[in-house]
Structure 1
Amino acid sequence: MALLALVCLASLLWGAGDVGPARAWSVLMGQGDPEARFVVGSLRLPRTLIGLMVGVALGVAGALLQAVTRNPLAEPGLLGVSAGAAFAVALALVFGATATTMRVGVAQLGAMAGCLCVLGVARFSGAGNDPVRLVLAGAALTGLLLSLTSLLLLFDQRAADEIRFWIVGSLSGRRLDHLLSLLPSLLLAGVIVLAVARPLAALALGERVASGLGHRPGLIRLLVIVAVALLVGAATATAGPIVFIGLVVPFAARALAGPDIRRTLWLCLPLGPLMVITADIVSRLLVAPSELPLGVLTALCGAPVLVAVVRARRLPTL
């Protein structure tokens, strides 16, 4: 939490523009010139707050997916959940959707469809017992959906410009009204996560054990699908598809807290925003005065983690 507070402060102080740390600090102290106040209050503060929410959403969604599939490689960006949300939003943009709340709802439906495909593959094809096979199936679904999303660019030039900017994944240009559209989904998903945390811990011991303890595995999976759809859909509609956060954050949380899903979920709350905001700061400074898209940077950093996990001598099933 202390690291997260420092990173949030750094996000307000540093950026790709002319307003440096000294001018930004004067704004935080209640002074500063009008340009610095605008940059800090209207540009950096909203993207920092949205980075907090997006980090929480993607980190918790990744932990839930890994727990319910019992697969350490399950991640919304790898298994087609984020791609489903992205395709749904792109389709809505082509048909003229402009309201942020409408985009969030459509993205959540797309994420739910992607999540159902993931769990269907894991449950009925036997891929759930092989983490690498499940990732390959998710990669195929992701490739298909991204191809369909690219195809939509040919039909509507107005939507094409917005889709191109949004599809790479970024916190740049986000406003406080985007944050307000995130909050209802996060609150509802939080209630669901609190309800399924203990049953998920029992489900990790097997379906028979969970049933013997009075839990209903089918209902648990359904609630997890709804929670993941709410979290990933809201995050994707706001910041675009950002990959590997849902893989790296739960991996780090388990390394620190152990295999208990309840501890993992709690630790994902600070670790998710910590990773997203840190990556956002680096994306601003790496090619200043321009900005590197956040989704590109997380992919560059997350891919080696995926390779390291796959190449591990023993890849455990959760």
Structure 2
Amino acid sequence: MTRALRVYLLTLMALLLAAWLSLLAFSEHPLMLSGLWQGDDMSALIVRDVRLPRMLVCALVGVGLGMAGSLLQAVTRNALASPHVLGINQGAGLFVALSLGVLQRWQLPTLAMACAGATLSGALVMLLSGLHRGRASGVRLVLSGVALSSLLAAMTDGAVMLNDELGVSIVAFMAGSVDGMTWQDVAGLWPWVLCATLGALLLAHPLNLLQLGDEAAHALGLKTPTVRVLCALLVVVVAGAIVTYVGAIPFVCLIVPHTARALLGRQDYRLVLPLAGLLGGVLMLLSDALSRLVSYPFESPVGIVTALIGAPFFLYLTWKQRR
């Protein structure tokens, strides 16, 4: 491990601690560390049953989004690829809205519906952009994703209008929020993020070979279609699980892989993937802290904060690619 990387990791740990302290101090019921040390039962209860589950969900979501963004950018070899930009999150969100609203009486599994929506939207983007034939330019891929995202967002609005009772809750859910997370949510989310993380790390070396180009990777014995399918499955599963529990969190999966590669100074996915996961967790915790600060003592959806951070970054990447 280089000295620069050690400094970055220590900085990330300091940011994690700062985010944790801010989550204790800035909320509807602020807590002081002195209350915890003195054995305040109410403070301990709030930390154990309210704050800690929320923080763990934030960290899990950040890790999952960091992995998903890194995988998509690796298999497409496109710096603008992410589940949100390509409409994968919106597809999952539409199917979740349908399962909670229009199709509620059928009691369909929400996670299965989210994964189905993510799979369908991802396949449509591949077809529209020509990615499945290796003909997708960066601009064409993004335009296809933006067009599909707009269509899916309109369809989600339509699904919300058909159900007046759940309309407001669905809209708030799709804004991306970690409010009200419990240990049950942690237990439901962590297995999917863990599976996606382990799968991504196992694919790190094949992803390095894939960056050489399909022909070179094939000459080295890599089955490129298999690698792409496995990566797509991991992205669909983790994106579907995250949307099911916290809604669509935009741009984290776009920002984090670029930051990881910039910090490392190279594109070695054996290092990029774990660092992207760590950065994703830090970004989500800091965004959650900011979402409490901007409207204190009330809360804003964390998805709004990540959108405010990520939208300028996305425009910068688009401008950079055009040059």
After TM superposition, the score normalised by the length of structure 1 is 0.90
Q: Aligned partners of 2:147, 2:189: CA distance in 1, in Å?
A: 29
RMSD: 2.2
Confirm whether residue 276 of structure 1 aligns to residue 287 of structure 2.
Answer: no
SS of the residue corresponding to residue 296 of structure 1 reads helix
Where does residue 14 of structure 2 map in the other structure?
3
Structure 1 residue 280: deviation in Å? 0.4
1:64-75 equivalent positions in 2, closer than 5 A: 64-75=71-82
Where does residue 300 of structure 1 map in the other structure?
308
Structure 1 residue 4: deviation in Å? 5.0
Q: Name the aligned partner's letter for residue 29 of structure 1.
A: W
1:8/1:48 contact within 8 Å kept? no
1:84-123 equivalent positions in 2, closer than 5 A: 84-94=91-101, 95-96=103-104, 102-120=109-127, 121-123=129-131
Q: Aligned partners of 2:118, 2:34: CA distance in 1, in Å?
A: 42
Q: Aligned partners of 1:9, 1:63: CA distance in 2, in Å?
A: 26
Q: Name the aligned partner's letter for residue 137 of structure 1.
A: S
SS of the residue corresponding to residue 203 of structure 2 reads helix
Equivalent residue for 2:294, pick from 277, 286, 290: 286
Percentage of pairs with the same residue: 36
Q: Name the aligned partner's letter for residue 201 of structure 1.
A: N
Where does residue 141 of structure 2 map in the other structure?
134
Structure 1 residue 187: deviation in Å? 2.6
Where does residue 207 of structure 2 map in the other structure?
200
Alignment: residue pair count: 309
**Structure 1: gaps of 5 or more residues:** none
1:7/1:274 contact within 8 Å kept? no
Task: Name the stretch that deviates more: 65-74 or 150-159.
Answer: 150-159
Q: Check 1:186–1:201 CA distance in 2 against 1; reply closer, same or farther (3 A cut).
A: same
Structure 1 residue 33: deviation in Å? 4.8
Where does residue 19 of structure 1 map in the other structure?
30
1:27/1:40 contact within 8 Å kept? no
**Structure 2: gaps of 5 or more residues:** 1-11
Q: Check 1:143–1:288 CA distance in 2 against 1; reply closer, same or farther (3 A cut).
A: same
Confirm whether residue 54 of structure 1 aligns to residue 44 of structure 2.
Answer: no
Q: Check 1:91–1:304 CA distance in 2 against 1; reply closer, same or farther (3 A cut).
A: same
Structure 1 residue 53: deviation in Å? 0.3
Where does residue 43 of structure 1 map in the other structure?
50
Q: Aligned partners of 1:2, 1:70: CA distance in 2, in Å?
A: 30
Q: Check 1:122–1:47 CA distance in 2 against 1; reply closer, same or farther (3 A cut).
A: farther
Task: Name the stretch that deviates more: 42-51 or 11-20.
Answer: 11-20
Where does residue 264 of structure 1 map in the other structure?
272
Structure 1 residue 37: deviation in Å? 3.1
Q: Where does structure 1 differ by over 3 angstroms across 4 or more consecutive aligned residues?
A: 124-127
After TM superposition, the score normalised by the length of structure 2 is 0.89
